[in-house]
Structure 1
Amino acid sequence: MVVIDSQSEDTILRARGPLQFKCLLETTDASHMHKVIKGAFESLQTQVKSESCVLTVCNSPIFIWPNQSFNATPKEITPETPCEDLLQWIQTDEQEITGKRSAKKKSKKTSTANVINLRLMMEVTTKGGPLSAPVLSRTVRTSHFLSLTLPMDCVIRTTSICTIKDAFKRLMEALSHQLSEMEKVMLQHMKGMTLLVPEPLHFLLPEPKGLVTVVYPAGVPDSQLETQRKELHKQFELPDDQPFFRRANAYHFPNEPYKDGYLRSPHLVLTNPSLDDGKVYLVQGIYSYHHYMQDHMDDNGWGCAYRSLQTICSWFQQQGYTEKPVPTHKEIQQALVDVGDKQKSFVGSRQWIGSIEVQVVLNQLLGVTSKIMFVSQGSELGSKGRELANHFLTEGTPIMIGGGVLAHTILGVAWSEMTGQIRYLILDPHYTGAEDIQVITDKGWCGWKGPDFWDQTAYYNLCLPQRPKVI
Structure 2
Amino acid sequence: MVVSDSIILRVKGPLELKCQLDSTKVPHIQSMINKTFEALCSKVKSDSLVLNVCNSPVFIWPNKDVFAKSDNITANTSCMDLLHFQTDQESTSKKSGKKKGKKNSIINMNLMTEVTEPVLSSAPVLHRSTKHHFIHTILPMDCVVTVPIDETLKVACGRLMGALSSQLCEMQTVTLQHMKETVVLVPQAFHFLLPEPTGLVTVIYPAGVPDSQLDVVRKELHHRFELPDDKPYLKRANAFHFPDEPYKDGYLRTPHVNLNHPTLENGKLYLVQGVYCYHHYMQDHMDDNGWGCAYRSLQTICSWFLCQGYVEQAVPNHKEIQEALVAVGDKQNNFVGSRQWIGSIEVQAVLNQLLGVTSKIMFVSQGSELASKGRELANHFLEEGTPVMIGGGVLAHTILGVSWSETSGQIRFLILDPHYTGAEDLQVITDKGWCGWKGPEFWDQNAYYNLCLPLRPKTI
- Whether these two folds match at TM > 0.5 is yes
Partner Cα separation in structure 2 for residue 9 and residue 375 of structure 1: 47
1:34 to 20, 30, 34: 30
AA matched with 2:264: L
- On the 8 A contact 1:87/1:113 being kept in 2, the answer is no
The aligned counterpart of 2:342 is: 353
Secondary structure of the 2:360 match is strand
Conserved? CA contact 2:65–2:154, under 8 Å: no
Q: Give 3-state SS (helix, strand or coil) of 2:241's partner.
A: coil
- Read off the aligned partner of 1:52 and give its amino acid letter: S
* Pair 1:96 & 2:85 matched: no
| Unaligned residue ranges in structure 1 (runs of 5+) | 101-107
Report the Cα distance in structure 1 between the residues aligned to 2:59 and 2:90, rounded to whole angstroms: 21
User: Which of 95, 103, 120 is the matching residue for 2:111?
Assistant: 120
Q: Does 1:261 align with 2:258?
A: no
Give the unaligned 5+ runs of structure 2.
none
Aligned amino acid, residue 114 of structure 2: E
Aligned ranges 1:135-214 → 2 under 5 Å:
135-214=124-203
Answer yes or no: is the 8 Å Cα contact 1:112–1:254 preserved in 2: no
Question: 2:196 and 2:163 mapped to 1: Cα distance?
Answer: 20
Distance between the aligned counterparts of 1:404 and 1:222, measured in 2?
A: 41
Alignment match, 2:59: 63
Q: Is 1:72 matched up with 2:68?
A: yes
Q: Which of 337, 344, 355 is residue 333 of structure 2 equivalent to?
A: 344
Task: Determine whether 1:51 maps to 2:42.
Answer: no
Aligned 1:322-471 pairs, distance under 5 A: 322-471=311-460
Change (3 A) 1:74 1:94: closer
Equivalent AA in structure 2 for residue 391 of structure 1: H
User: 2:214 maps to which residue?
Assistant: 225
> What SS class does the counterpart of residue 94 from structure 2 fall into?
helix
SS at match of 1:362: helix
* Aligned counterparts of 1:134 and 1:440: Cα–Cα separation in 2: 72
Q: Distance in 2 between matches of 1:148 and 1:312?
A: 39
In structure 1, C-alpha distance between the alignment counterparts of 2:94 and 2:149, rounded to whole Å:
29
**Secondary structure in 2 aligned to 1:186?**
helix
Alpha-carbon distance between aligned partners in 2 of 1:329 and 1:253, rounded to the nearest angstrom? 31
The one-letter code of the counterpart of 1:429 is P
The Cα shift of 1:291 comes to: 0.2
Structure 1 residue 130: Cα displacement: 7.4
RMSD (Å), alpha carbons? 1.6
> Normalising by the residue count of structure 1, what TM-score does the alignment of the two structures yield?
0.95
C-alpha distance in structure 1 between counterparts of 2:168 and 2:100, whole Å? 33
1:20 matched to which residue of 2?
Answer: 16
1:10, distance to aligned residue in structure 2 (A): 1.8
* Structure 2 CA distance for partners of 1:23 and 1:131, relative to 1, 3 Å: closer
Secondary structure of the equivalent of 1:64?
Answer: strand
Q: 2:304 matched to 1:315?
A: yes
Question: Structure 1 residues 276 and 203 mapped into 2: Cα distance closer, same or farther (>3 Å)?
Answer: same
Moved over 6 A (4+): none
Secondary structure at the aligned position of 2:391 is classed as strand
- Mapped pair 1:294 → 2:283: yes
Relative distance call for 1:92 and 1:296 in structure 2 (3 A) is farther
CA contact (8 A) 1:356 1:463 kept: yes
8 Å Cα contact 1:111/1:254 also seen in 2: no
1:131: Cα distance to partner? 4.8
Q: What amino acid sits opposite 2:54 in the alignment?
A: C
Q: 1:8 aligns with which of 4, 9, 12?
A: 4
Distance 2:174 2:281 in 1: 45
TM-score (norm 2): 0.97
Q: Distance in 2 between matches of 1:229 and 1:326?
A: 25
Matching of residue 239 in structure 1 with residue 228 in structure 2: yes
Deviation at 1:158, TM superposition (A): 1.3
User: 3-state DSSP class of the match of 1:441?
Assistant: helix
1:305 maps to which residue?
294
Shift of 1:82: 1.2
The Cα offsets for residues 352-378 of structure 1, whole Å up to 9 and x where unpaired, read as 000000000000000000000001111
Q: Percent identity?
A: 66
Match of 1:86 among 79, 82, 96: 82
Q: After superposition, give the CA deviation of every residue in 1:108-133 in whole Å (9 maximum; x if it has no partner).
A: 9954521111000010113xx67535
Question: Which whole-Å CA distance do the structure 2 matches of 1:150 and 1:397 have between them?
Answer: 37
Check the 8 A contact 2:65/2:75 in 1, yes or no: no
Q: Please state how far the C-alpha of 1:97 moved relative to its aligned partner.
A: 3.4
Question: What is the deviation of 1:8?
Answer: 2.2
Distance in 1 between the 2:100 and 2:11 partners?
Answer: 21
Rounded Cα–Cα distance in structure 1 between residues aligned with 2:419 and 2:45: 56
Q: Distance in 1 between matches of 2:363 and 2:96?
A: 58
**Residues 13 and 142 of structure 2 are in contact (CA less than 8 Å); yes or no, is this contact kept in structure 1?**
yes
